[in-house]
Amino acid sequence: MPPEFEIPKATADKHDSDSVLETFGKSLINSAIQNPINSLSQIGSEVSGLKLPELHYFDPYVSSDGTAKFAQQAGNVVGMLVPFMVAHKAVGFGASKLNIEFTGSMLSRTGEQAATGALMGFALTPSDDGFSGRLKNGLVDAGTFGVMGAASSKLASSFASTGELPLASRIMRSSLFGIGSGIPGGFTNAELNSIVHKGKLASGTELRDDIASFALLGAAFGGIEAFGKKSEIASPSEMRARFPRYSEQQLDIGRTAVRNELAQVKASAEDGRSISVWDKFNDSNLSDAQKERVLNALAAVRENHVSTRQRDGSIDPDQEKNWIHTQGEFGRNIDSAQRMGLTPEQTEDSLIGSMFSDAVKHKSNFMVHHRDGREGALAFLSFMKEQGLSPERVNGIGNMILEHQIGPPGFMRMIYANNIAADLNLTRGNELSAVSEKPAGQRSASEQAELERLQRLSNEYDSRASQLASFNGSGAEWAQLATRQAFGRFVSDEEAAAITSLGEKIAKPLDQRVVDTAYGGKAVELTDLERSLLQRTGNDNWYVPHESTPWYAASRSLINADSIDNYATPGGFSKLVGMNGPETDIFFRDKTMNESLASPRRSFGFAYDIMTPEGKALADAELAKTDQAIERARERTEQWLREELKVPAGEPLPDIPFWNSELAYPDRGPLENEWWKLHKISERTPEQQQRWSELRYVGLTPEQVDQFLFAKRIREQMVDELRREQRVDGSLPPDYLPVMRRPPLPSVQ
């Protein structure tokens, strides 16, 4: 620290009676308040030519007592935090006025800390040598804090944490990094002080004292910084494997692949023309540095999607859908950000959040893919600390990804409520079977009580079924009873009511009371029972965007874009048509193609409710064009059917299940949930594969099995034709291939 902080102003005997705590306090007040005030007073005197008063109530003194000396040193260091924070705020304010962005990279952080030190040394440190002394103080502090900033940035990027850390661990970790940065900072301070003020190198004592002081200062800085963060997350090993650190050469190859593919995806210009998503991105308000960061992230997301291959080497169909959707959503997000007037920083964050929102999504994790997407984003962004994203922005991006799961609300209500009920019924059905098989004398008291409870629920279910079979009451009463019965055999009245109330909250997410989350965002307020039921889906919270958060506008733009691409574009329709019909999901058993095409329209209505006004205007315009695209795709699919079935033009098509007549589905009865759980397992054991095969076509005749398989081909053809409508040249998407040589993943799915 500058010598003015260490010059004794009083003798020790005057303070012999001071306790250690009093010594610490006086030194703290001198460093935090008295010295900055005196410095400003001196500047005022020099500018005005009038001698302004100074404060000398808490002047430091020389002490020979080791404990008192340490108390002075500690108080002095802790007090220095105040002028440093003031200078830091002033530098940040000045940078914003000059349109200077401190990005968080090592170079940027070094410059920011050096500027802060220079301002503190010049303006908030007393000097008896006028402006010459102030310039020297500024030079010393600029060098000192610049070195500390560089060291801190290097330590943080080199030793990323490996999990979600509690507050105490975060403070300890950050304080250790602070000590690590304070040691070179103290060395630099001692040498610069001695060279600038004395014209010689520092003595061993000066080096020792300054290194100790700045190590303590660094620890204090680190602890305060960690305490101010809501949470620090580092992703598990799976996410590090999915999104590893790539070399610049690998990223350059990935950016080229992304650029070429975005150039073939349609976007909309302001005048209604169709341009490519690449053109839209290139003309956005992002700087060149921001564009490169965004493309680096998008290249990593692309590599994760297209590296998931099937046994025959082709891309996994779900990941192909995800990558196509990500490209389309990327363009819609640029549209939304422009309409909403987002800043370049908000736009960049929204684009990165958008691409990671479905970055880790597959059959078995739909209910939690937003959480996995967040972890994937944090894994990759932890490697980008030196490229310009601050921890606060990374945290905001993570929250946006969690919040995007609210849409479309009506669809989410159905999916989550049905899955909760299905899980209760499957789990308890298995429990009942297991306990029932035990001889009565071998059951524990808790097992017997559970058996009786489950039998009671089962009997109540049968009683309701009998009432429905012979019901002669009003339509409203019948609907109420049927709704209750739909929850299944093993769901209690209390649980059915809680599933309903949870569903209502999911259906109207922006109208609910909210609570704070561990990540600094907001979530819907839930009852204990609602939360315990939601936990059956792998979730503890239902995250929602909220205007009190810094990332609110960027999050709303992301949600706009996700909704528009999914439910108002040919690409979105291709995705959802591909997700409906035979062997897609237990809830999506569409009997005709018209039902599958109606699904995005239903969800569009739900999604519309949570769009901003700007998003609604964009969605309306896109849907009008998409209606025409769907008809063109339908005509080409019908032509394909005529060729497959050899039906001449002009003659009517025969009844074709799933196209113009209803498709028959397998009837697995109580084994339905069991089969779907097996179906969602990517790598089934031989026993699981045999069971899956046994149940696959239960209830279908050989002819119906053939129709069922042909229906899947019809769906694939319609999906292809819809995808053509989203392409600039009307072609099918290419065979997306990995290009960045990501190491193979461990078995994680």
Q: Which distant-in-sequence residues (6+ apart) come within 8 Å of 115 by Cβ? A: 91, 142
The per-residue pLDDT for range 559-585, each reduced to its tens digit, is 999 999 999 999 999 988 998 999 988
How crowded is residue 725: how many other Cβ atoms within 10 Å of its Cβ? 21
| Any domain includes 693 | no
Question: Which parts of 550-689 are beta strand (E)?
Answer: none
Structure tokens at 402: 């969690």
- pLDDT tens for 303-333 read 999 999 988 899 999 999 999 999 999 999 9
pLDDT of residue 170 exceeding 80: no
Identify the weakest region by mean pLDDT among 125-134, 512-521, 632-641: 125-134
29 close to 79: Cβ distance less than 8 angstroms: yes
Number of domains in the chain: 1
pLDDT at site 97: 63
Identify whether 112 is part of a domain: yes
The pLDDT confidence band at residue 736, using thresholds 50, 70 and 90, is very high
Share above pLDDT 70 across residues of the chain, in percent, rounded to a whole number: 88
Say which amino acid occupies 322.
N
Q: What does the alpha-carbon distance between residue 158 and residue 382 come to, in Å, rounded to a whole number?
A: 10
Q: Which of 126-140, 181-195, 206-220, 676-690 has the lowest mean pLDDT?
A: 206-220
Give pLDDT, residue 45: 80
Q: What is the DSSP string of 512-536?
A: S-EEE-TTSSEEE---HHHHHHHGG
Beta 522-524 vs 543-544: how paired, if at all? antiparallel
Mean pLDDT of all residues in 417-433:
94
Token code pair at residue 307:
């590296």
Tell me if 557 is assigned to some domain: no
Q: Residue 458 — very low, low, confident or very high, per pLDDT cuts 50/70/90?
A: very high
pLDDT digits (tens, 9 = 90+) for 330-388: 999 999 999 999 999 999 999 999 999 999 998 889 999 999 999 999 999 987 766 67
Encoded tokens for 703 = 């002819």
Contact 611, 630 (CB under 8 A): no
The more confident residue out of 176 and 716 is: 716
Residue 113 placed within a domain: yes
pLDDT score of 102 more than 70? no
pLDDT (tens digit, 9 = 90+) per residue, 233-249?
A: 334 578 888 999 999 99
- Measured in residues, the chain has a length of 749
- Both tokens of 679, joined, read 């179906």
Per the omega criterion (within 30 degrees of 0), is the bond before 408 cis? yes
Give the pLDDT score at 14. 47
The H or E element spanning position 544 is strand 543-544
Q: Is residue 533 part of a domain?
A: no
Spatial neighbors of 221 by CB under 8 A, at least 6 apart, are: 81, 152, 178
Does residue 650 lie in a domain region?
no
Do residues 40 and 48 touch, judged by C-beta distance below 8 A?
no
Give the residue with greater pLDDT, 70 vs 114.
114
469 in a structural domain? no
pLDDT at 39: 80
Q: Please report the pLDDT score of residue 705 as a whole number.
A: 96
What does the alpha-carbon distance between residue 467 and residue 482 come to, in Å, rounded to a whole number?
Answer: 10
Average pLDDT over residues 648-656: 94
Computed over every residue of the chain, the mean pLDDT equals 87
Contacts of 281 (CB under 8 A, 6+ apart): 262, 291, 294, 330, 331, 334
DSSP codes, 569-583: SHHHHHHHHHTSSTT
- Range with the poorest average pLDDT among 59-73, 389-403, 456-470, 639-653: 59-73
Residue with tokens 């049927």, as numbered in its chain: 482
| 253: its two tokens | 């190859």
Looking at the domain assignment, is residue 145 inside a domain?
yes
Dist. CA 419–CA 433, nearest whole Å: 21
Lowest mean pLDDT across 49-63, 225-239, 413-427, 664-678:
225-239
Q: Which domain holds residue 177?
A: 20-100+107-156+173-200
Cα separations in angstroms, 397 against 103, 133, 326, 378, 400 = 15, 45, 16, 9, 5
